[in-house]
Amino acid sequence: MEAFTIEGHLCKILIVDDEILIRQGIKHYMNWEQEGFTIVGEAANGQEALEMIETCRPDIVITDIVMPVMDGKELTKVIKTRYPEIEVVVLSSFGEFEYVRNTFQSGVADYMLKPRLEPKELLNVLNRAVGRTEAGPNAVRGAKAPAAAAERLLEKITAGFELGGEADRADIRASFPHPVFRLLAVTAKDISEAAAAALQSMVGKRFPGAVCLPFPAGRGLTGFLLNGNADLQTQAPLDGLAAQWADAFGQAGTLLISRPYEDFMRTGDVLREQIHPLARRAFYRPDARWLTFAEDADPPLTVEAFNLNQFTEAFKLMQFGEAFGGLRRHVEKLRAAGGMDVEEFKSFLNNMIFTITVLTENIGFDAQGLDKEKFRYFDAIQQARNAEEAIGILHAFTAEAERRLADSARNAARDNMKKLLDYIEQNYAEPLSLKEVAKHFHFNPSYLSSWFSAHSGEGFVEYVNKIRIHKAAEMLRTGSGSIAEIGAKVGFPDHSYFCKVFKKFTGRSPSEYRRMTAGTARE
């Protein structure tokens, strides 16, 4: 079957579906260029699709119905209002007929059920849609674009799909005629057109006649497939190219270089086994000007797992300096080792931010501010280009958390101290042991002892005795009970011990104090 093209170019298709497997499946369903079509983009929802339409200007949009942010029904309305020349084909599941009917009212060209999605039927639907386009009556039969074929092959092989058949082999021979391949990648998902063009120009000058094809390499990388002659085997020209890139565009990202290989079919493996590990190394070494894969590179160091139980215990005891200090030391070990997967490293940092927020609330402190701010930190860490930047964001969060926790701790300490002192004031006559008071306030006795001393400037027992002696002195001045009775009333059932403690605080025995203050009390 000859391929349809619109006004001499391949019919451009944009795929819109929130399921990545559906998008990938459609993209690699067939040799699209051979059929006269080319996939110019993919989007996960209607809003993303509208942004892409502005730049890629598709002839046909294939869209799902039910999607987040903006569904297919709303997307169809907007497309037919803003871009009436674009045809829309709807994909739907069973049970979505009402949605589909509404989209037909908006002007869709056709629809297909996902469970019955077959290449032949999809082609029939798309060819009918081509006939409805403004250029439909003038559609001509033509050959596929070589550049589009090369891009399709590269995208398919790096996504893990198998290439087969004589058509694919012919495309490989036509698109990549030279014997040697290498992969380059820049540690940035999107580099400027000027930077990409400059890199391609550098390749062209150092390796005349070589193919240099950009492609999305995953993991936040922009890839370039090089296909050239034997000179591509030599490392020196590539090091010179890398140095030139670092001088001119180093701020855009570190250049990663694979080893040479001779079979295009190995491209996906080289990407995963060489470029992706280099990207991890570059993440932990932002000072590196460029990195070349070496088979004998030292393996990354391993780091013992973070002791979350110890961190949590320190946090509960409000030993925030110890908790955050341990976290910072562990993160620095991870950075120095450089062995953790980048996404795993970022997830660990984000999980710790979430954990700190939850623990703050669990100990009774106000976590509302941290809870709101955490999403901003999540996004910043996810966008971080290297470990140093990501760690800096974590440190900014922990510094803010420490400040808020310190404020909350001071307020809590003041409130808790007042409650504790009021309790002692009301119960001084009872057998107030440290253990009993700690139990009443749900404290660990040793922690209560150190906490009380830190916040009152004196020991717990000393303070309780001071209150008791103060009350006893008042009774001795104004009351007529015996010294033993007064001692018992203020919590000293042992008469001799009462006298000993009383003299320690007042410098006199209870009887001396009573005689000395008797006249004062009557006055």
Mean pLDDT (the chain, rounded): 85
Lowest mean pLDDT among 113-127, 178-192, 355-369: 113-127
For residue 135, pLDDT over 50 is answered with no
pLDDT in tens, 184-210: 999 987 788 888 888 999 999 999 999
Residue 280 confidence (pLDDT): 92
Average pLDDT over residues 217-222: 84
Lowest mean pLDDT among 63-72, 126-135, 231-240: 126-135
More confident residue, 103 or 32: 32
Residue 296 confidence (pLDDT): 60
pLDDT in tens, 329-364: 999 999 999 889 999 999 999 999 999 999 988 888
End-to-end CA distance of the chain: 122
Q: Does domain 148-292 have CATH number 3.30.70.260?
A: yes
Residue 295 confidence (pLDDT): 65
Residue 471 confidence (pLDDT): 92
Share of the chain above pLDDT 70, in %: 89
Q: pLDDT confidence of 143, banded at 50, 70, 90? A: very low
Share of the chain above pLDDT 90, in %: 42
- Asked if 284 and 338 count as a contact pair (C-beta separation under 8 A), the reply is yes
b/e string for 121-132 if b means 16 or more Cβ within 10 A? Answer: ebbebbbebbee
More confident residue, 237 or 523: 237
The CA distance from 46 to 68, in Å, is 8
Helices (H) and strands (E) in the chain, counts: 22, 12
More confident residue, 432 or 240: 240
For residue 473, pLDDT over 90 is answered with yes
Structure tokens given for 303: 């780091």
For residue 18, pLDDT over 60 is answered with yes
Task: Of 478, 468, 486, 482, give the one whose Cα is nearest residue 430.
Answer: 468
Beta strand ranges found along 263-401 (DSSP E): 290-292
Question: CA triplet 360, 362, 365: central angle to 5 degrees?
Answer: 50
For residue 287, pLDDT over 80 is answered with yes
CATH code for the structural domain at 3-144? 3.40.50.2300
Residue 347 confidence (pLDDT): 95
The class level of CATH for 434-522 reads mainly alpha
pLDDT in tens, 28-79: 878 788 788 888 899 999 999 999 998 888 999 999 888 899 988 899 889 9
pTM over 0.75: no
For residue 413, pLDDT over 80 is answered with no
Sign of the dihedral defined by the CA atoms of residues 179, 180, 184, 189, in that order: positive
Residue 366 confidence (pLDDT): 77
The CA distance from 175 to 157, in Å, is 14
Residue 393 confidence (pLDDT): 96
The CA distance from 191 to 187, in Å, is 9
